[in-house]
Amino acid sequence: MNRSPDLNRRRTIRDVATAAGVSISTASNALNDTGRINAETRERVRRIAKEIGFRPNAAARSLLGGRSHTVGIITNDTYGRLVLPMTAGVSEVLLEAGVSVFLCPTNNDPRLAHLHLEALLDKQVDGLIFTATRLDLEPPPALADLPIPIVHAFSEGPPERVSFVPDDAQGAELAVRHLLACGHRRIVHVTGEENYVVAHRRAQAYRALVSPEARVMFGEWTEEWGREAVEILFAGDGEKPGALFCGSDEIARGVIDALRDRRIRVPDDVAVIGFDNWEVVARQTRPPLSSIDMELKTIGRRAGEAVLALCRGETVPPGINRIACRLVPRDSCGRADHD
Amino acid sequence: MNRSPDLNRRRTIRDVATAAGVSISTASNALNDTGRINAETRERVRRIAKEIGFRPNAAARSLLGGRSHTVGIITNDTYGRLVLPMTAGVSEVLLEAGVSVFLCPTNNDPRLAHLHLEALLDKQVDGLIFTATRLDLEPPPALADLPIPIVHAFSEGPPERVSFVPDDAQGAELAVRHLLACGHRRIVHVTGEENYVVAHRRAQAYRALVSPEARVMFGEWTEEWGREAVEILFAGDGEKPGALFCGSDEIARGVIDALRDRRIRVPDDVAVIGFDNWEVVARQTRPPLSSIDMELKTIGRRAGEAVLALCRGETVPPGINRIACRLVPRDSCGRADHD
DNA sequence: ACGCTATGATAAAAGGTTTTAGCTCGCAAG
DNA sequence: CTTGCGAGCTAAAACCTTTTATCATAGCGT
């Protein structure tokens, strides 16, 4: 009956102070290295705090400081293939700063997005990272003028905001140059839907490098379309392409499969390069697919750093930051002559 | 200079009270429907609160109530394919209850896992959901006796905890029964690494249904292994299998590709069924792959409900909850005779 | 001896909400 | 007229931490 109450209550700074025989303020100063304090006292307080397992109450702290040390990520990604690497990057950066990440999957439902946004604002997140897998979908929900910093990752926000996106043009260049370096000519670009901004940007970069009239085949972002494109390209007896630069690894996979069906050797007869470096796909094609990695984790890290800086009141130059892509050579392009 | 200060300060309940000409307590009561209050007053307060855009400060609230209305998900998933659908389920359930979800990707790094755990505890999450893509990896980090409820999703926790996992045995049965219903005999099971618990469980269920000596081929969870298995099975001139039950969609994809190479028709000559229902794979095989869906979102939802109940102090029966899998028939098994 | 400074410690306020106990007023019962 | 009671409202405490202003003491120079 007379069991000591609160035995497993959370330890507060008051407990620390009492145990150390000092006042609450002194305890606080000791733990945060603020104010003037005797070195010995500080150590004692800290030791005791650790001993009794004291953890400062985040609620009290944010109540006072006005900062919650949390940020939210709003995403419409369903499969996680894009958002998880980014989130990993974000939280890697924020973890060091003691900031945690709320992940809000909206499932492409604007109503859900709105509810999540409300919830985040109620939780007083210090900042927001907005991510969308498809630029044409989901126009930011009433995201107009919130009282907190917003950073866009993998989606281009309005010019006054900070955005981080893959450098599609540079990625396309990387791909084309690699094909050229491997000695391939007559490159054709097989890519996804024409109304995707990224498809255009990549196609443009590709044409700038090859020729203004170089062939671009728009279609769907599927294997199916990759196979179909090969049918189209290799059916007649006109001149055949020597290399295919694909807009996604899925398309590339379709391409490679169709080439294989036709007994066309990769990379000897035709070279293929993909885009996304989606490992589960790229590593399992025959031969393994060379591809362009969009450095999602880096994008996440950069977005994390930006939102952190903004939360601290620092100023970050607004605009679109294009993060360099990385070439991941495997076996589908042969060997580069140089470099 | 004399501009009204705090114009864009957050509205507090005090602002509401002042504007409505009532005390803070009354305002609080009106908003939360607690205490005795005149209906008219209540409506007035609520109207004004909405007008001035009042949002209760979550920090103050949790400081008082001892609950933060947040839970954390700790995961080692790198690609997000498993964790994102689950997280979507979790947050769907929790959103209604005003609880938000911290996602912590540990990247299989125990140090990172530990840091995340610390951060979550500092944030005073009300509960924790622990998720691991591979049961053999990452033994829960010092997750032994935390002061908060812990639920396991997609990974089996200790018996005194609550866990939600796919019902692998039932899923395997579903697959085998489907093959049988489609008229296929001589089924072989091609699956992943022998030291995975799930591989065993599925194999066992398969044998129970087919025959105690039915053939099981353990290998890797890759397309490569799927192709290799086909080589092994169809190389000699012994009796050939009529159907292949694969342990993952990736394996199934390898199997289908290899069969295609050998000019063996699917499903006419050999039927194939996968496991995971990983759409990007299953929909793109030729023919599209029938598969078993593990209902990850449902697992997430159930885990969310459980952790919510536990946070509220309700008691949830501990133990492993096996969530039924779902058959997703496509074209790789032909048509079922009945049902 | 006196004033001044530096050091070390502390009391108290602040932050926004919920909750408990209490207050006032009007009305009905005695 | 007094007492009791309920409806409606409110003051104040509590939650935990940080920060500001204050206080006490010792040391030092004159």
Residues A320 and A166: beta-carbon distance below 8 Å:
no
Q: Say whether A286 sits in a helix, a strand or coil.
A: coil
* HSE, side-chain direction, 13 A CA sphere, residue B29: 14
Backbone angles phi, psi at B324, to 5 degrees: -60, 140
Reported as a single tens digit per residue, the pLDDT across A174-200 is 999 999 999 998 999 999 999 888 999
Residue with tokens 């000591």: A4
The nucleotide whose C1' lies nearest the CA of A10 is D16
Residues B87 and B104: beta-carbon distance below 8 Å:
no
Q: Do A79 and B77 touch (CB under 8 A)?
A: no
Q: Is A122 on the interface with B (CB under 8 A)?
A: yes
Distance (Å) from the alpha carbon of A336 to chain B's nearest alpha carbon: 26
Dist CA B139 CA B280 (whole Å): 30
- Whether pLDDT at A74 is above 90: yes
Q: Is B77 on the interface with A (CB under 8 A)?
A: yes
The pLDDT of A268-280, averaged and rounded, is 94
- Whether pLDDT at A5 is above 60: no
Q: Give the Cα-Cα-Cα angle A150, A155, A156 (nearest 5 degrees).
A: 75
- Residue A217's closest CA among A205, A231, A203, A234? A203
Q: Is A169 on the interface with B (CB under 8 A)?
A: no
Residues A311 and A290 in one domain: no
In sequence order, which ranges of chain B are alpha helices (DSSP H)?
13-20, 24-32, 39-52, 58-65, 83-96, 110-122, 168-181, 197-210, 223-235, 249-261, 279-282, 296-311
Residue B254 lies in a domain: yes
Residues B31 and B103 in one domain: no
Determine how β-strand B326-328 pairs with β-strand B291-293.
Answer: antiparallel
Among left, alpha and beta (phi > 0; psi -120 to 50; other), residue B290 is: beta
Name residue B151's beta-bridge partners: B129, B162
Residues A197 and A285 in one domain: yes
Reported as a single tens digit per residue, the pLDDT across B260-271 is 999 999 899 999
| Ranges under pLDDT 50 in chain B | 1-6
Number of domains in chain A: 3
Dist CA A83 CA A18 (whole Å): 46
Distance (Å) from the alpha carbon of B277 to chain A's nearest alpha carbon: 12
Residue A1 lies in a domain: no
Q: Do B100 and A119 touch (CB under 8 A)?
A: yes
DSSP code per residue over A52-68:
TT----HHHHHHHHS--
Instruction: Determine what percent of chain A is predicted with pLDDT higher than 70.
Output: 94
Residues A254 and A230 in one domain: yes
More confident residue, A73 or A133: A73
Residue B7 lies in a domain: no
What mean pLDDT is reported for chain A?
90
Residues A146 and A202 in one domain: no
Residue with tokens 């911290």: B102
- Say yes or no: Cβ of B98 under 7 A from any atom of strand C: no
Residues A181 and A282 in one domain: yes
Q: Do B84 and A79 touch (CB under 8 A)?
A: yes
Reported as a pLDDT band with limits 50, 70 and 90, residue A227 is very high
Which chain D positions come under 7 Å from a protein C-beta?
7-12, 14-21
Reported as a pLDDT band with limits 50, 70 and 90, residue A333 is very high
Residue with tokens 């755990």: B117
Residues B89 and B182 in one domain: no
Reported as a single tens digit per residue, the pLDDT across B297-310 is 999 999 999 999 99
Q: Is B78 on the interface with A (CB under 8 A)?
A: yes
Buried b or exposed e, range A212-240, using 16+ CB within 10 angstroms? eebebbbbbbbbbbbbbbbeebbeeeeee
Q: What is the pLDDT of residue B1?
A: 36
Q: What is each CA distance from B330 to A254, B190, B266, in whole angstroms?
A: 19, 19, 12
Q: Is B259 on the interface with A (CB under 8 A)?
A: no
Q: What is the pLDDT of residue B24?
A: 94
Q: Hey, what are B92's tokens?
A: 């769907």
Residue A251 lies in a domain: yes
Residue with tokens 């039924």: B324
Determine how β-strand A100-105 pairs with β-strand B216-218.
Answer: unpaired
Q: Do A121 and B222 touch (CB under 8 A)?
A: no
Residues A172 and A274 in one domain: yes
Q: Do A83 and B80 touch (CB under 8 A)?
A: yes
Buried b or exposed e, range A31-50, using 16+ CB within 10 angstroms? beeeeebeeebbebbbebbe
Residue B187 lies in a domain: yes
User: First CA to last CA across chain B, in angstroms?
Assistant: 78
Q: Residue A142 carries which DSSP code?
A: S
Which chain C positions come under 7 Å from a protein C-beta?
7-12, 14-21
Reported as a single tens digit per residue, the pLDDT across B234-275 is 988 888 899 999 999 999 999 999 999 999 998 999 999 999
- Say yes or no: Cβ of B38 under 7 A from any atom of strand C: no
Residues A19 and A125 in one domain: no
Name residue A246's beta-bridge partners: A190
Q: Do B280 and A121 touch (CB under 8 A)?
A: no
- Say yes or no: Cβ of B29 under 7 A from any atom of strand C: yes
Dist CA B332 CA B232 (whole Å): 21
Reported as a single tens digit per residue, the pLDDT across A247-257 is 999 999 999 99
| Sheet arrangement for strand B187-191 | B216-218, B187-191, B243-246, B271-273
Q: Is A97 on the interface with B (CB under 8 A)?
A: no
Dist CA B220 CA B87 (whole Å): 27
The pLDDT of A275-285, averaged and rounded, is 93
Residues A255 and A305 in one domain: no
CATH number for position A208 = 3.40.50.2300
Sign for the pseudo-dihedral over CA of A107, A111, A112, A113: positive
Buried b or exposed e, range B223-254, using 16+ CB within 10 angstroms? bbbbbbbbeebbeeeeeebbbbbbbbbbbbbb
* HSE, side-chain direction, 13 A CA sphere, residue B155: 24
Residue B161 lies in a domain: yes
Backbone angles phi, psi at A200, to 5 degrees: -65, -45
Candidates A63, A103, A254; nearest CB to B101: A103
Q: What is the pLDDT of residue B137?
A: 53
Dist CA A51 CA A304 (whole Å): 34
Q: How many CB pairs under 8 A join A and B?
A: 157
Q: Is A109 on the interface with B (CB under 8 A)?
A: no
Reported as a single tens digit per residue, the pLDDT across A12-70 is 999 999 999 999 999 999 999 988 889 999 999 999 999 998 989 989 999 988 889 99
Which domain does B147 fall in, by range? 67-166+295-323
Interface test with B, best of A12, A13, A67, A79 (most B CBs within 10 A): A79
Dmax of chain B from CA atoms?
A: 95
- Whether pLDDT at A261 is above 60: yes
Dist CA B333 CA B237 (whole Å): 23
* Contacts with B, A 301-330, CB within 8 Å: none
Residue A334 lies in a domain: no
Residues B299 and B155 in one domain: yes
- Residues contacting residue B139 through CB under 8 Å, at least 6 positions apart: none
Residue A271 lies in a domain: yes
Q: What is the pLDDT of residue B142?
A: 60
Dist CA B300 CA B89 (whole Å): 4
Determine how β-strand B70-75 pairs with β-strand B127-131.
Answer: parallel
Q: What is each CA distance from B23 to A31, B19, B29, B41, B175, in whole angstroms?
A: 38, 10, 10, 11, 65
Q: Do B119 and A105 touch (CB under 8 A)?
A: no
Residues A126 and A94 in one domain: yes
- Residue B268's closest CA among B287, B291, B248, B247? B287
- Say yes or no: Cβ of A13 under 7 A from any atom of strand D: yes
